[in-house]
Structure 1
Amino acid sequence: MYKEDTIAAIATAPGAGGIGIIRLSGKKALEIADKVFVSPSGKKPTAMAAYTAAYGKIIARDGSLIDEAIALIMRAPKSYTCEDVVELQCHGGPMALRSVLRAVFEAGARPAEPGEFTKRAFLNGRLDLSEAQAVMDVINAKTDMALRQATGHLTGSFSSELQGWRREILGFIAHLEALIDFPEEGVEEAELEKMRGKIEGLSAKFSGLISTASTGRILREGLMTAIIGKPNVGKSSLLNALLREERAIVTDIPGTTRDAIEEYADLEGVPLRIIDTAGIRETSDTVEQLGVEKSKEYIEKAQLVLALFDSSRPLDNEDEEILSLLQDQQAIALLTKNDLPEKLSAEELQKRLPELPIISISTKGDKDGLADLSRSVHAFVFKHGADPQAAFLRDEEEAEILKKARHHLQEAISTIDSDMGLDFISIDLRSAWEALGELTGEALGDDIVDEVFKRFCIGK
């Protein structure tokens, strides 16, 4: 069993730093720390109280000095994993950390698997599955809005809602089974109708949350956004304006960008995974042509396309190709260079793209139009009037589980309407209750749990 093992790993990011942490967790964490950590007073980690720290040295098996360190002691069950945990704070150089970790392994620990510390916290009941997965979402959050969503899941606000729904469904089941056991009590039609209304209300709540799945994934992973247009239309200038730094080379020479540039931008809380593509045009340059083909591939993959058109020049053949590429694409059309004399109006472009928002924009001076772009992107991300402050599902996988739970609730409603037996209603409701358990991790097999935590980094 894993509980007999003590695991260890470097818990800080790769690279040099002022401090690096080696984390140990398990039944023998304190005993192993005794073998490698020596304090000036001679006091051993096994003799230290919980939530105390001590300065000392890390000693190799042959007695040689490896590094100075501070040992932090956290005793079960009041630790991250609910096991005995020791964290050795050393200097953050890669060589020092590897040497300390090697000494810890030689003293009896084994290497932690990806996500194994959090997996133990989950298996020991400290976190449910939603909270555990939020750990990596907090680490990877790229905007304040994404961080708020992740911390909301991590602190249990989303799990509390799920547990509340499960308790409500379980209450229905208990009531129905009591009526089944005592049929002489009888069932009033009004009572079943009241339960039906509550089940319908839960189903509506599930539907509302299901609609947030794509928004949740965008906040977690970023909105894949392709910037397209003909050469010298202002694509790289727009990228630089969104990033608030000179990331892409900007010149008056067409074809400067020959390959896609990918960066993350924070657009008032929405993480944009921006791809600045090569200008789309006919060219005899082999390298540039490869870039153009790559641009077309990115357009097909993008969740949102920002299509740029030069307002100081009338539409030409290159623009016509851009227009053809926008068929069946989620896009926003941007009229650039609005500080120059107008040759292409928003009204004219709107006639060609009647379904798309048209925004006049300049990347110079006060960055005219960027606020309008931000509002359009937010409208795209927070569809159906979703509240940016509300909780969202993490992704479509969670949506599928919730759809399954909603299906069983709807089956229960159909069963009530068909005037079938109480036991059939109870079966449908129990299926919904179990489906919700998949979101919290209470109804998952070991193989699925293992797969979830393999996505984590080692040391977390």
Structure 2
Amino acid sequence: MVQDTIAAISTAVGEGGIAIIRMSGDNAINCVDLIFDSKKKLRDADSHTVHYGHIVHPVTGERIEEVIVTVMRGPRSFTAEDVVEINAHGGVIAVKKVLDTVLELEGVRTAEPGEFTKRAFLNGRIDLMQAEAVIDLIRSKSDRAFSVARKQAEGTLSKQIKALRGTVIELLAHIEVNIDYPEHDVEAMTSAYIREQCQAAIGELDRLLKTANDGKLLREGIVTAIVGRPNVGKSSLMNMLTQENRAIVTDIPGTTRDVIEQFVTINGIPLRLLDTAGIRETSDIVERIGVERSRNALQDADLILFVLNHNEPLHADDRLLLEQLQGRSMIVIVNKTDLPGALDSEALMKFVPKGQIVRMSMAEESGLDRLEAVIHDMFFEGELEANDMTYVSNVRHISLLKQAKQSMEDAIEATYTGIPIDVIQIDVRSAWESLGEILGDEAGDSLIDQIFSQFCLGK
């Protein structure tokens, strides 16, 4: 159990109705009693109660702020320690005065980034997977991403990993008994039995990994590059998707000189939109830099929205870029359908299937529903319901699940080659350790520190 008392502002900096200063530690309640002027001492208060009073200077007795203080005694608190939350008026000066007063108390220090959640993990209230879900909750860009993170924070996915790990440890126990007492042939420990148990574990790992692509996209967003020749409506599409004038729109080709980035949610799916400069040969040095950045953005994109004009034939630059993008996840958007047509649809379908062509009019704001449907069908199999299914979304978790699967496959392969059972045990134990690293049971201090350093102060 961590003994020292930590404190930090847990709400966003700036003006607001309420700001919260959070404290945690064995001595948190007694510390606040030294600066809290109220009818009742907090040390005598019941857990999970709220108290009105004033923060006063511990030496001069000067009133600093009118506050509401909440007491939560461990282990029934977020950190499993005694926690005190001071609710003050929002505003930079008021909050700073209260925090400075708290930090003047002996034994109280500023919390490190993520230290409250880290203490919850170290004190056994949550596992590492649940702790990482907390930051996913904060960073959620859509309702579905939030739902996925919430289920992970509640431990839904952790329970499945723990159950799978329990199955693996049972297999390990049988192998070790067979090694120690070979004359008993416990549980008929044969190669066939090992293969059966490993295959069952692989089936569960495959089920979890099947959700990984969808989960990762929900967590991080689909990196979506909007590309095309100058003046085809790329910036108009950006503004239509974001419902704001994020990009400058003119009739002058080459207006967009750099990559503009914006997050947007379409039908519950987060997209990280990259509005790129029009791709063409140009002598303008600034535009040429923008075109080069556009080409770089294409390399990192999960999805490419290729914009063409309905009232223009396919240009040589269009054909060249379409050829270069073969095999990529791409949707061709035929813009300006409100104007007379000049685009050869048959020529276009030589590059992309008909189902990946969406006809739109930015001027009339039509075709957006169709675009949403195509994006959904392209990236997500079946109906995407975060409330009904647990998704693996964290890259670290996905990597460790794959490692566990590989170890199980190695164990199966070893049974066919006559490798001794004590060597096979190493592969099975490796799978068990990989699963434990997801939960934090096998995680080293450096990994734990790296994970919690990503959190904000006060969380």
TM-score, L = length of structure 1: 0.91
Q: How much has 1:289 moved relative to structure 2?
A: 3.4
Q: How much has 1:173 moved relative to structure 2?
A: 2.0
Residue 86 of structure 1 corresponds to: 84
Structure 2 CA distance for aligned equivalents of residues 65 and 190 of structure 1: 74
Q: How much has 1:167 moved relative to structure 2?
A: 0.7
Q: Does 1:134 align with 2:133?
A: yes
Unpaired runs of at least 5, structure 1? none
Q: Deviations over 1:241-295 (max 9, x none)?
A: 2123333333333333233221111011211010112222344444433333322
Structure 2 CA distance for aligned equivalents of residues 282 and 184 of structure 1: 78
Q: Does 1:260 align with 2:259?
A: yes
Q: How much has 1:426 moved relative to structure 2?
A: 3.4
Q: Amino acid of the residue matched to residue 55 of structure 1? A: Y
Q: Does 1:362 align with 2:364?
A: no
1:324–1:88 CA distance, 2 compared to 1 (3 A) = same
1:63–1:146 CA distance, 2 compared to 1 (3 A) = same
Structure 1 CA distance for aligned equivalents of residues 385 and 288 of structure 2: 41
Residue 232 of structure 1 corresponds to: 231
Residue 446 of structure 1 corresponds to: 445
Residue 351 of structure 2 corresponds to: 352
Contact 1:237 1:248 in 2 (8 A): yes
Equivalenced residue count is 455
Structure 2 CA distance for aligned equivalents of residues 217 and 192 of structure 1: 36
Contact 1:12 1:21 in 2 (8 A): yes
Residue 43 of structure 2 corresponds to: 46
**Residues 206-355 of structure 1 mapped to structure 2, 5 A cutoff:** 206-323=205-322, 325-327=324-326, 329-353=328-352
Q: How much has 1:422 moved relative to structure 2?
A: 4.2
1:429–1:294 CA distance, 2 compared to 1 (3 A) = closer
Contact 2:167 2:201 in 1 (8 A): no
Structure 2 CA distance for aligned equivalents of residues 187 and 65 of structure 1: 73
**Residues 138-149 of structure 1 mapped to structure 2, 5 A cutoff:** 138-149=137-148
Q: Does 1:121 align with 2:115?
A: no
Q: How much has 1:420 moved relative to structure 2?
A: 4.7
Q: Deviations over 1:211-243 (max 9, x none)?
A: 544433322222111111122211122112212
Structure 2 CA distance for aligned equivalents of residues 99 and 299 of structure 1: 49
Residue 103 of structure 1 corresponds to: 101
1:172–1:104 CA distance, 2 compared to 1 (3 A) = same
Contact 2:171 2:197 in 1 (8 A): no
Contact 1:307 1:322 in 2 (8 A): no
Structure 1 CA distance for aligned equivalents of residues 324 and 31 of structure 2: 62
Residue 70 of structure 1 corresponds to: 68
1:189–1:77 CA distance, 2 compared to 1 (3 A) = closer
Structure 2 CA distance for aligned equivalents of residues 402 and 85 of structure 1: 35
Aligned-partner SS, 1:275: strand
Structure 1 CA distance for aligned equivalents of residues 321 and 233 of structure 2: 14
Structure 2 CA distance for aligned equivalents of residues 187 and 58 of structure 1: 67
The answer to which of 221-230 and 83-92 deviates more is 221-230
Contact 2:310 2:337 in 1 (8 A): yes
Q: How much has 1:443 moved relative to structure 2?
A: 0.3
Q: Amino acid of the residue matched to residue 345 of structure 2? A: A
Contact 1:346 1:360 in 2 (8 A): no
Q: How much has 1:416 moved relative to structure 2?
A: 3.0
Q: Amino acid of the residue matched to residue 195 of structure 2? A: R
Q: How much has 1:60 moved relative to structure 2?
A: 2.3
Structure 1 CA distance for aligned equivalents of residues 189 and 440 of structure 2: 36
Residue 60 of structure 1 corresponds to: 57
Q: How much has 1:304 moved relative to structure 2?
A: 1.7
Q: Deviations over 1:316-337 (max 9, x none)?
A: 2443454355356432221111
**Residues 26-45 of structure 1 mapped to structure 2, 5 A cutoff:** 26-39=25-38, 41=39, 43-45=40-42
The answer to which of 214-223 and 282-291 deviates more is 282-291
The answer to which of 344-353 and 84-93 deviates more is 344-353
Aligned-partner SS, 2:47: coil
Q: How much has 1:356 moved relative to structure 2?
A: 8.7
Structure 2 CA distance for aligned equivalents of residues 141 and 111 of structure 1: 27
**What's the Cα RMSD here?**
2.4
Contact 1:346 1:358 in 2 (8 A): no
Contact 1:408 1:432 in 2 (8 A): yes
Structure 2 CA distance for aligned equivalents of residues 175 and 196 of structure 1: 13
Structure 1 CA distance for aligned equivalents of residues 191 and 276 of structure 2: 60
The answer to which of 356-365 and 68-77 deviates more is 356-365
Contact 1:405 1:432 in 2 (8 A): yes
The answer to which of 26-35 and 387-396 deviates more is 387-396
Structure 2 CA distance for aligned equivalents of residues 121 and 17 of structure 1: 28
Identity %: 44
TM-score, L = length of structure 2: 0.92
Structure 1 CA distance for aligned equivalents of residues 285 and 189 of structure 2: 76
1:286–1:356 CA distance, 2 compared to 1 (3 A) = farther
Q: How much has 1:190 moved relative to structure 2?
A: 9.0
